[in-house]
């Protein structure tokens, strides 16, 4: 393999890994928008909660109480993060989103997500303090080498979990009754209600799934981030950009946009400089808004989510 080709493949691998991380964060955002037509500004904090849940499960519970080895502890921590995210979503929906939705106002739930974000951030600050936590995944220490190409076990895990999450979500939407009902709610909430579907239950399920995805994203991001109660904020802006580039509420668009942004980021580092990453990504966002405001995959309600 020539040097140039090896470099190209290596940066592509790096980009796919980064892209998968972004997709994991962006999927929940796009799912909620697709069904509820609502932006969840607290999504970053759901990711951070997932990261902390994973950290404490791995370092305090799984290793010290259950006596699991590091790898088992980390895998268990992902399950804990998923559960914590789901429970958080359930609680926030029941306490905040559902009552506000019943009033039929679209703006209030949106503002409420900002409030939820502030409460979660400050709650975590109170609980965990401001000093960054060190969250090491045992998979980060293992490097896989294929010829001249390398990647950590952690990146392989990120790609595998992202692919599994996407596949599971796709299968759920496409082949299960609940998934079909969810798509019906996304298409027309009132008509779906007339057909015997309970839109509120379906919306609650959507928020729980999105929050669970955020939790898992937190477990995967924890070993990458400088983990503080505000850690999620460092990826959420890019996740929003990905959701917009992909086509708000469109899952396929989000996946393609996430991978695209990850790969662009890796090549920007290689050829332009890492200091220009944000500039390049947001120029791309602006170009998309001008040239194709509907996003990579144009919004067709029935195909969303």
If the CB atoms of residues 71 and 191 are measured against other proteins, the closer one turns out to be 71
Q: In whole angstroms, how close is the CB of 57 to other proteins at the nearest point?
A: 20
| CA 55 – CA 227 distance, rounded (Å) | 10
Question: Does the footprint of other proteins cover residue 45 (CB under 8 A)?
Answer: no
Question: Does the footprint of other proteins cover residue 5 (CB under 8 A)?
Answer: no
Question: Does the footprint of other proteins cover residue 272 (CB under 8 A)?
Answer: no
Question: Does the footprint of other proteins cover residue 10 (CB under 8 A)?
Answer: yes
Q: Which single residue is written with the structure tokens 């959701």?
A: 243
Question: Does the footprint of other proteins cover residue 293 (CB under 8 A)?
Answer: no
Looking at residues 116 to 175 of the shown chain, list those that interact with other proteins (rule: CB under 8 A): 125, 130-132, 134, 136, 140-141, 143, 150-152, 155
Q: In whole angstroms, how close is the CB of 8 to other proteins at the nearest point?
A: 10
| Selected range binding other proteins among 27-35, 36-44, 195-203, 269-277, rule: CB under 8 A | 269-277
Q: Which of 89, 265, 285, 303 binds other proteins (CB under 8 A)?
A: 265
Could you tell me if 23 and 258 are in contact, meaning their C-beta atoms sit under 8 angstroms apart? Answer: yes
> For the window 209-238, what string marks contact with other proteins as x by the rule CB under 8 A?
------------x--xxx-x-x---xx---
Q: In whole angstroms, how close is the CB of 114 to other proteins at the nearest point?
A: 19
| CA 288 – CA 140 distance, rounded (Å) | 35
Q: Which positions touch other proteins (CB under 8 A)? A: 3, 7, 10-11, 14-15, 17-18, 21, 125, 130-132, 134, 136, 140-141, 143, 150-152, 155, 221, 224-226, 228, 230, 234-235, 265-266, 269-270, 273-275, 277-278
């Amino acid at each position: 393999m020539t040097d140039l080709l090896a470099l190209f493949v290596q940066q592509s691998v790096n980009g796919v890994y980064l892209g998968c991380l972004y997709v994991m964060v962006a999927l929940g955002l796009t799912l909620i928008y697709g069904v509820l037509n609502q932006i969840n500004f607290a999504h970053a904090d759901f990711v951070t909660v997932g990261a902390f849940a994973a950290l404490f499960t791995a370092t305090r519970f799984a290793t010290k109480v259950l006596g699991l080895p590091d790898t088992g502890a980390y895998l268990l921590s992902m399950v804990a993060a998923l559960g914590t995210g789901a429970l958080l979503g359930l609680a926030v929906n029941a306490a905040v989103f559902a009552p506000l939705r019943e009033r039929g106002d679209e703006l209030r739930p949106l503002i409420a997500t900002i409030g939820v974000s502030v409460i979660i951030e400050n709650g975590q600050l109170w609980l965990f303090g401001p000093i960054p936590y060190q969250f090491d995944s045992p998979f980060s220490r293992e490097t896989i080498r294929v010829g001249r190409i390398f990647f950590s076990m952690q990146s392989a895990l990120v790609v595998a979990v992202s692919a599994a999450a996407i596949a599971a979500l796709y299968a759920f939407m496409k082949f299960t009754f609940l998934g079909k009902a969810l798509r019906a709610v996304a298409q027309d909430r009132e008509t779906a209600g007339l057909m015997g579907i309970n839109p509120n239950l379906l919306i609650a399920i959507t928020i729980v799934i999105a929050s669970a995805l955020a939790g898992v994203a937190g477990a995967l991001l924890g070993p990458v981030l400088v983990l503080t109660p505000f850690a999620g904020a460092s990826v959420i802006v890019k996740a929003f950009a990905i959701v917009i580039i992909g086509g708000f509420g469109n899952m396929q668009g989000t996946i393609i946009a996430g991978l695209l942004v990850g790969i662009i980021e890796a090549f920007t580092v290689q050829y332009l400089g890492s200091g220009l990453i944000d500039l390049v990504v947001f120029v791309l966002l602006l170009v998309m808004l001008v040239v194709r405001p509907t996003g990579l995959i144009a919004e067709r309600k029935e195909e969303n989510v």
